[in-house]
Structure 1
Amino acid sequence: MRQGVSGSVVTAVGLSAMLMSCSSAAPHAAAPPPGPAVAVEPLSIGAGAVDTTGGSIPDGQLISPFDVKNPAVEFLEPALLKAIQDAATAAAAEGVDVLLTSGWRSKGFQQRLFDQAVTTYGNADLAAQFVASPEKSMHVFGKAVDVGPVVADQWMIANGSRFGLCQIYANEIWHFELAVDATGACPPLRPNAAG
């Protein structure tokens, strides 16, 4: 899922307009990696409360995949972090800035995004096509990044497999995971996050 300037979910109509205008992609948020020193559970912020902002990148901002002090980058799985940094370096040599709109996300933040999608689309089944639940989101495990702006998405679609990175969902040109097979090919696109 990609957040818009107001933090809303990008709809198919909005995505079409964004692609047609080739405007910059709006920010995304990220998910926690499984690592010995990294907490995978959301941060507790009080009695019964959970972290609903962990991994959030402010609306309208894109961050460098080299900004390892930002939790959205810091908590990425090491292999994914190296792959996106290598891809960004290669893209920069071709004049394309590959930036992140999302990376690691806390479970609480992912739940908040899912709940917003349920409100937007009217039910959990439709929402799941655009936003994975915290239990299914690869962002929560530090195994997914959302890339921007649109020119970077296009570069990644054309070149990401060289670094092991593949677009996963047909309706999310910005979402990439380490997914190449033994021959270096990306898997067929899934229609959306639900299927």
Structure 2
Amino acid sequence: MSPILPSPRKAHRKVYWVIGIGLLVAMAAIGSALGYRSQDSSPPLYPSWSSSAASPPDVPGGEQRAGPGKNAPRRGPVGKGDGVVPDGVTVFNNAFPAVARLDQRLLAALRQAATDAAGDGIKFYVNSGWRSPAYQNQLLREAVSKYGSEEEAARWVATASTSLHVKGKAVDIGHPDAAKWLSEHGARYGLCQIYRNESWHYELRANASDRGCPPMYADPTQDPRTRR
């Protein structure tokens, strides 16, 4: 006896039903897997930079952040607030901290000398005056790079902890004619050249008007105030 076969229409309905059930089962499995992942407590693959487990990359032109346990100093650019001056700044320009933050007795002597020198057609420019420690450190790094060693650089640039510029007690005068005028007349104002290798570097010696300026050091390495 021949078996009774289902009609083609009923067979198609059965196939569709089986496929539908399969799709529902698959969707349920996927939903379950996603729900499990959302509860997973594993750390992210890429931790945020605020995490103590990682340090950020260097930021161009900005401060280099330190990794865990480090204390990297700031080495960003220095500017006007650190004592940097453009060309043409005179001893009368209080808009620049390099001038305004000089020792007031030194500044008063400079201005008196500059007023008198103007009668001879001489103008006092400030090539460098007060400096921040950051600026001084930068100048020292540049000097080491230029002269090839810390020992040779020390003949021209002191450390931030010993520099008379950082203390506001030294000024570098330009142009050469102004430095020459001070070398001849500065003692009467108490303004003295301190180092033979730096004709532009002047400091205040209050008794110089009576006794003259003291003997100069060959360079800053001979000055007990600036020895490392």
TM-score by length of 2: 0.62
Shift, 1:184, TM fit:
3.5
1:144, 1:177 within 8 Å by CA — same for their partners in 2?
yes
Q: Which amino acid aligns with 1:49?
A: R
Of the three residues 40, 45, 55, the one matched with 2:83 is: 55
Secondary structure, counterpart of 2:161 in structure 1: coil
Give yes or no for contact 1:180–1:187 (8 Å, CA) kept in 2: no
Where do 5+ consecutive residues of structure 1 fail to align?
1-44
Of structures 1 and 2, the one scoring higher in RCO (CA 8 A, sep 6+) is: 1
On the 8 A contact 1:164/1:184 being kept in 2, the answer is no
1:79 aligns with 2:101: no
Higher helix share: 2
The residue matched to 2:199 in structure 1 has which SS? strand
Partner amino acid, structure 1, of 2:176: V
Q: Which piece of structure 1 moves more, 86-95 or 45-54? A: 45-54
Q: Distance in 2 between matches of 1:125 and 1:190?
A: 16
Aligned to 1:189: 216
Q: How many residues align?
A: 149
Contact 1:83 1:163 in 2 (8 A): yes
Q: Return the offset for 1:93.
A: 1.3
Q: 2:193 aligns with which of 167, 170, 182?
A: 167
Tell me if the contact between 1:62 and 1:148 (Cα under 8 Å) persists in the aligned partners.
Answer: no
Describe the shift of the 1:62–1:101 C-alpha distance in structure 2 as closer, same or farther (beyond 3 A).
farther
Deviation at 1:49, TM superposition (A): 1.8
**Alignment CA distance shift 1:189-1:180 (3 Å):** farther
Which is greater in Rg? 2
Counterpart of 1:133 in 2: which secondary structure?
A: coil
Q: SS of 1:166's equivalent? A: strand
TM-score, normalising length from structure 1?
0.72
Q: How far did 1:56 drift?
A: 0.7
Once the two structures are overlaid, the 10-residue window that deviates more, 83-92 or 179-188, is 179-188
Per the TM alignment, residue 121 of structure 1 is displaced from its structure 2 partner at its CA by: 1.0
**4+ residue stretches of structure 1 with deviation over 4 A?**
45-48
